[in-house]
Structure 1
Amino acid sequence: MNEQIKKALLQAGDDSNIKTAKHAVGGSINESCFAETDNQKYFIKFHAEAPDRFFELEARELELIRETNSIAVPEVFTYTDESNSAFIVMEWVNGAPAADTDRKLGDRIAAMHQTFGKKHGFDDDTFIGALPQTNGLFSSWLEYYRDQRLAAQLKMGIDKGRMTGKRRGRMETLLEDLGKWIPDDAAPSYLHGDLWGGNWLAGPGGEPYVIDPSFLYGDRHFELAFTEVFGGYSSDFYRAYQERFPLSPDYDDIKPLYQLYYLLVHLNMFGEAYGRSVDTILKRYAG
């Protein structure tokens, strides 16, 4: 591992003495390390079997969020998707939440959502975790969300044997009727795309940072709905978000349909532990 770290830091332009190198907490997909040289502290992720362009896309998505001038992201120094030795080198972000961190986070996410693309989706295929997402750019949010997100997970679930019987039938019915609830003309906000509670952290001075995006342009309510699936966000976060960018009055009606996508992802990645949650939403809208 030390040789891998040395190679990564050399590519990042730092050939100074490595003072510390050790494993760090950083999710289950990659092998994560903390390294400190005479010059700087780094966070390095390695992936021996990374999909094509895995870290290239992460670097690009972080830069798109940075360009909104809304919320902080770690600086990326270098990356490679070279077979058997893919890695990305970023700045080490270390801090502790302050009294106003949650409010800042809500306000900064709302500000990011007030930056808009021209169409929905993305011009690159991406990943959520290690699961591939086929994208494309669409004038219609409904069309993108139905075909590229929900229908794609349905197909994957059929292939994995996790979308069968009544579950499959209800899912197919829902896709036919989705326009009853999902807007066709939502504004294409810049979205992080994988904003669960583990994908933000407090940096120096309690300033919030977001990490590990799965970027797209789309309805901001899709992003907010996911923040409520696994928790990790306080009432201060939602209050600050609402103050800057109030949610649509019908948010509670469409929220489960947006949460459905992420639950389907988890069903396809991890199995039947998420089946009951998927079935509950399908019964509500297509039962």
Structure 2
Amino acid sequence: MNTLFKSALERAGDSSTLLTIKKVAGGSINESYIVETKKRSYFIKYHKDAPERFFELEAKGLQLIKYTNTIDVPEVIDYSDEQKEAYLVLEHVQGERNNHTERLLGERLAGLHQTIGQAHGFREPTFIGTLTQPNGLYDSWLEYYRDRRLAAQLKLGIRNKRMVGKRKKKLENLLNHLDQWIPRDIEPSYLHGDLWGGNWIVGGDGHPYLIDPSFLYGDRHFELAFTEVFGGFSKQFYQAYEATYPTSNHYQSCKKVYQLYYLLVHLNLFGEMYGSEVDAILNHYVR
């Protein structure tokens, strides 16, 4: 590992003495390290069997969020997707929460969502975990969400035998009637795409940073719905978001159908432990 990291940092322009490499906990996909040289400190993610373009697409997502000038992300220093030597070198962000952190997170996420793209989706496939997300650019969010998100998970679930029987029929029924809950006139907001409580951190002066994006353009309520699935966001966060960019009338009716996507992903990745949550949402929409 020393040789790989030394080579990576030299490629990034840091040839100073490598002082320490510390493996850190967190995340089930990559190995993560804090690497300190005589020049500065880095956060490096390593994956020995990374899918093609795995870190390239993460780096692109971070850069797209950065370009909005709305919310902080770690600086992308370098990356490689070479087989057995895939890594992403980032700025090492350090800080502690204060009384303003979650308010700033809500306000700045709202600012990100007020940045509008040209179409829904994304121009190339992305990843959620190591699961490939098919993509494309669509004029209609409804069609994108139905065809590229829910239908893709349905096909995968059929292949791995986790989408069978009544569950399969109910999801197919939901796909055919999705326009009952999702409007067609949705603006394509810039979205992080995988925003749960583990994908934001705190930097200097208590400022929030987004990490590990699975970037797309789409309905901002899709993002908000996922923040409520696994927790990690305070009342202060939601109040600040609402004060900055109030949610639309359709949010409550479509919240569960948006949460369904992420639960389908977890069902396909991790198995039947998420089956009851998927079934509860399908039963909510399909009688």
Under TM normalisation by the shorter chain, which class is it?
A: over 0.9
Distance 1:137 1:144 in 2: 8
Q: Deviations over 1:138-175 (max 9, x none)?
A: 00000000000000000000001000000000000000
Instruction: Give 2:226's aligned residue.
Output: 226
Letter in 2 for 1:44: I
Deviations 1:31-65, CA, capped at 9 Å, x for gaps? 11111111110000111111111111111110000
1:274-285 aligned within 5 A: 274-285=274-285
Could you list the runs of 4 or more consecutive aligned residues of structure 1 that deviate by over 6 angstroms after TM superposition? none
Structure 2 residue 196 is matched with structure 1 residue 196? yes
- 1:44 paired residue number: 44
Find the aligned partners of 2:248 and 2:91 in 1 and give their Cα distance: 37
Tell me how far 1:22 sits from its aligned partner.
1.3
Question: In the alignment, is the contact (CA less than 8 A) between 2:182 and 2:250 conserved in 1?
Answer: no
Give the letter aligned to residue 114 of structure 2: Q
Indicate the larger mover: 102-111 or 247-256: 247-256
Q: CA RMSD in A?
A: 0.7
2:92 maps to 1:92: yes
TM-score normalised by L of structure 1: 0.99
Is residue 122 of structure 2 the alignment partner of residue 122 of structure 1? Answer: yes
**Which whole-Å CA distance do the structure 2 matches of 1:24 and 1:194 have between them?**
21
Query: Structure 1 stretches of 5 or more lacking a match?
Result: none
| In structure 1, distance between residues paired with 2:102 and 2:247 | 18
User: Any stretches of 5+ residues in structure 2 without a counterpart?
Assistant: none
Structure 2 residue aligned with 1:75: 75
SS in 2 for 1:23: strand
Q: CA deviation at 1:26?
A: 4.0
Q: How does 1:1-287 map to 2 (within 5 A)?
A: 1-287=1-287
C-alpha deviation, 1:253, in angstroms: 1.2
- For residues 70 and 117 of structure 2, the distance between their equivalents in structure 1, rounded to whole angstroms, comes to 15
Distance 2:127 2:177 in 1: 27
Q: What's the % identity of the aligned pairs?
A: 60
Partner of 1:33, secondary structure, is: strand
TM-score, with length taken from structure 2: 0.99
CA distance in 2, matches of 1:249, 1:139: 21
How far apart in 1 are the matches of 2:28 and 2:184?
36
How many residue pairs match? The answer is: 287
Cα distance in 2 between the residues matched to 1:273 and 1:221: 26
Which letter maps to 1:166?
K
Return the alpha-carbon distance in structure 1 between the equivalents of residues 52 and 219 of structure 2.
28
Q: Helix, strand or coil for the counterpart of 1:60?
A: helix
Partners of 1:48 and 1:39 lie apart in 2 by 27
Provide the rounded CA distance (Å) in 2 between the counterparts of 1:39 and 1:168: 55
- Residues 183-236 of structure 1: per-residue CA shift (max 9 Å, x gap): 111110000000000000010110000000000000000000000000000000
